[in-house]
């Protein structure tokens, strides 16, 4: 398990303030890729630790800490979709049934025996649910029943970057705990320490989420698409939408859409304030490009990207989606 990140000091202190009067459920919310799960796991471990340090962090030496780090603590459960567990285990899934991206009702029902027993070690029992928006309808309703009949010293930590997708009845049962995205400076400094090249650029690509930036930098995920896409959209007059969609069709559409969203954000920002956020190296180019584009058309394109993003993980025809987006982009500019 990862230690706390440098930008989490304040959040950690705020959590310590809650220790004396813990609710039955806490909702950790904030942007994707900023370390919410790691914070929740650190908090869970520290609650179970026999001799936490003065700052509340777990000792990492007691038997409880050892169990926790070996994923075998009897008073702890991590509930996440099978697809995440499989990805962490590095399982090959060729031919096999695709692991679910949802948290199923059976996973929540399995908790009932855990919830009804008293703690093995006499202290807290902690359940981390991540990401909480992956709870399917039945699972969410089942969890709601558990939250409606709280058990003493049983704490639920729900982790989400899409709280709007959770049932309002679940939200109302949780104490909300917001985690902030670190400043670009803090994020880039941390990435540099992790050995990520061009930390500022890597960070900007992901919307300033350091862990996501680290993941993308390590896997190279999305970087090839970004280079191909960037070289084409910088010169819209020469852009061949169909050929470009063809060369990008093997990519995960989410990376292409993400990059277009950032480019579009910068065009809008350049038009209204003369500043850019995600493509600082292309700032002058963007300002010049956007001069001939009507604001209304830019706004419509931004909306189209947002809609495409919502269905990006299960598009009916990814190539068609990309073609349509790139054609719309091309049409922003005069012929
Ligand atoms: Zn300990």
Q: Are the C-beta atoms of 301 and 264 separated by less than 8 Å? A: yes
Whether 14 and 131 map to the same domain: the answer is: yes
- Decide if 208 is inside a domain: no
Rounded to the nearest 10 degrees, what angle do helices 253-273 and 283-290 cross at? Answer: 70
Residue 51 CA to ligand 1 centre (angstroms): 5
d(CA 48, CA 121): 8
DSSP string of 81-94, one letter each residue: -HHHHHHHHT---S
pLDDT in tens, 241-280: 999 999 888 877 888 888 899 999 999 999 999 999 888 8
Each residue's pLDDT, cut to its tens digit, for the chain (335 residues) gives 788 999 999 999 999 999 989 999 999 999 999 999 999 999 999 999 999 999 999 999 999 999 999 999 999 999 999 888 887 776 655 556 778 889 999 999 988 888 777 777 778 999 999 999 999 999 999 999 999 988 889 999 999 999 999 999 999 999 999 999 999 999 999 999 999 888 888 888 787 899 988 988 887 777 788 888 999 999 999 999 999 999 888 877 888 888 899 999 999 999 999 999 888 889 999 999 999 999 999 999 999 998 888 776 666 778 888 999 999 999 999 87
Residue 55 corresponds to which tokens in the numbers above?
């700052």
- Decide if 313 is inside a domain: yes
Whether 145 and 250 map to the same domain: the answer is: no
Residue 20 CA to ligand 1 centre (angstroms): 18
Residue 55 CA to ligand 1 centre (angstroms): 13
Q: Are the C-beta atoms of 154 and 177 separated by less than 8 Å? A: no
CATH of the domain at 88: 3.40.50.300
- Decide if 285 is inside a domain: yes
Whether 165 and 44 map to the same domain: the answer is: yes
- Average model confidence (pLDDT) for the chain? 90
CATH of the domain at 248: 1.20.272.10
- Decide if 249 is inside a domain: yes
Q: Are the C-beta atoms of 261 and 251 separated by less than 8 Å? A: no
Please name the residues in contact with 171: beta carbons below 8 A apart, sequence gap of 6 or more: 27, 163
Indicate the residue among 112, 146, 178 that finishes a domain: 178
Q: Looking at residue 68, what DSSP letter applies? A: H
* pTM, full prediction: 0.77
Residue 116 CA to ligand 1 centre (angstroms): 25
- Decide if 190 is inside a domain: no
Whether 233 and 130 map to the same domain: the answer is: no
Whether 283 and 140 map to the same domain: the answer is: no
Distances (CA, A) of 116 to 41, 149, 150, 152, 294: 22, 11, 10, 10, 61
Residue 98 CA to ligand 1 centre (angstroms): 37
Residue 46 CA to ligand 1 centre (angstroms): 7
Q: Output b/e per residue, 56-74; b: 16+ Cβ within 10 A.
A: bbbebeeebbebbeeeebe
Indicate the residue among 150, 178, 206 that finishes a domain: 178
- Decide if 211 is inside a domain: no
pLDDT in tens, 176-206: 999 999 999 999 999 999 998 888 888 887 8
Q: Output b/e per residue, 186-208; b: 16+ Cβ within 10 A.
A: bbbbbbeeeebeebbbbbbbbbb
Whether 14 and 86 map to the same domain: the answer is: yes
Q: How many helices (H) and strands (E) does the chain have?
A: 17, 5
Residue 3 corresponds to which tokens in the numbers above?
């230690």
Omega cis (within 30) before 131: yes
Q: Which of 334, 272, 333 is nearest to 301 (CA)?
A: 333
- Decide if 250 is inside a domain: yes
Please name the residues in contact with 106: beta carbons below 8 A apart, sequence gap of 6 or more: none
Whether 126 and 239 map to the same domain: the answer is: no
Q: Looking at residue 97, what DSSP letter applies? A: P
For 313, other C-beta atoms within 10 Å of its C-beta total 10
Whether 38 and 156 map to the same domain: the answer is: yes
Whether 174 and 262 map to the same domain: the answer is: no
Whether 144 and 259 map to the same domain: the answer is: no
Whether 116 and 168 map to the same domain: the answer is: yes
Domain count along the chain: 2
- Decide if 38 is inside a domain: yes
Q: Are the C-beta atoms of 173 and 148 separated by less than 8 Å? A: yes
Whether 165 and 262 map to the same domain: the answer is: no
d(CA 78, CA 41): 9
Supply the range of the domain harboring residue 24.
Answer: 6-178
Indicate the residue among 147, 178, 209 that finishes a domain: 178
Residue 52 CA to ligand 1 centre (angstroms): 6
Q: Which of 330, 27, 15 is nearest to 173 (CA)?
A: 27
Q: Which residues surround ligand 1, an ion (CB under 5 A)?
A: 49, 58-59, 62, 65
Q: Are the C-beta atoms of 165 and 133 separated by less than 8 Å? A: yes
Q: Are the C-beta atoms of 226 and 198 separated by less than 8 Å? A: no
Residue 193 CA to ligand 1 centre (angstroms): 27
Which uninterrupted H or E stretch holds 333?
none
d(CA 278, CA 262): 6
């Amino acid at each position: 398990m990862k230690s706390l990140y440098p930008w989490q000091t304040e959040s950690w202190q705020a959590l310590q303030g809650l220790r004396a009067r813990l609710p039955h459920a806490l909702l950790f919310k904030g942007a994707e890729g900023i370390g919410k799960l790691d914070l929740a796991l650190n908090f869970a471990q520290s609650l179970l630790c026999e001799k936490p340090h003065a700052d509340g962090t777990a000792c990492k030496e007691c038997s409880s800490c050892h169990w926790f780090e070996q994923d075998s603590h009897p008073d702890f459960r991590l509930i996440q979709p099978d697809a995440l567990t499989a990805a962490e285990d590095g399982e090959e899934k060729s031919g096999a049934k695709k692991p679910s991206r949802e948290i199923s009702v059976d996973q929540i029902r399995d908790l009932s025996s855990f919830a009804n027993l008293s703690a093995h070690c006499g202290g807290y029992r902690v359940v981390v649910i991540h990401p909480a928006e992956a709870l399917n309808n039945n699972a969410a309703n089942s969890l709601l029943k558990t939250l409606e009949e709280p058990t003493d010293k049983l704490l639920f930590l729900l982790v989400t970057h899409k709280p709007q997708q959770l049932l309002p009845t679940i939200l109302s049962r949780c104490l909300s705990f917001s985690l902030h995205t670190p400043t670009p400076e803090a994020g880039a400094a941390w990435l540099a320490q992790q050995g990520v090249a061009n930390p500022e650029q890597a960070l900007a690509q992901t919307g300033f989420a350091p862990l996501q930036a680290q993941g993308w930098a390590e896997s190279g995920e999305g970087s090839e698409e970004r280079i191909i896409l960037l070289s084409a959209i910088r010169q819209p007059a020469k852009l061949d939408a169909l050929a470009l969609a063809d060369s990008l069709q093997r990519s995960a559409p989410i990376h292409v859409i993400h990059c277009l969203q950032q480019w579009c954000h910068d065009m809008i920002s350049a038009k209204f304030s003369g500043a850019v956020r995600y493509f600082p190296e292309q700032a002058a180019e963007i300002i010049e490009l956007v001069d001939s584009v009507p604001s209304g058309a830019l706004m419509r394109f931004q909306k189209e990207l947002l809609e495409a993003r919502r269905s990006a993980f299960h598009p009916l025809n990814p190539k068609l989606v990309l073609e349509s987006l790139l054609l719309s982009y091309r049409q922003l500019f005069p012929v």
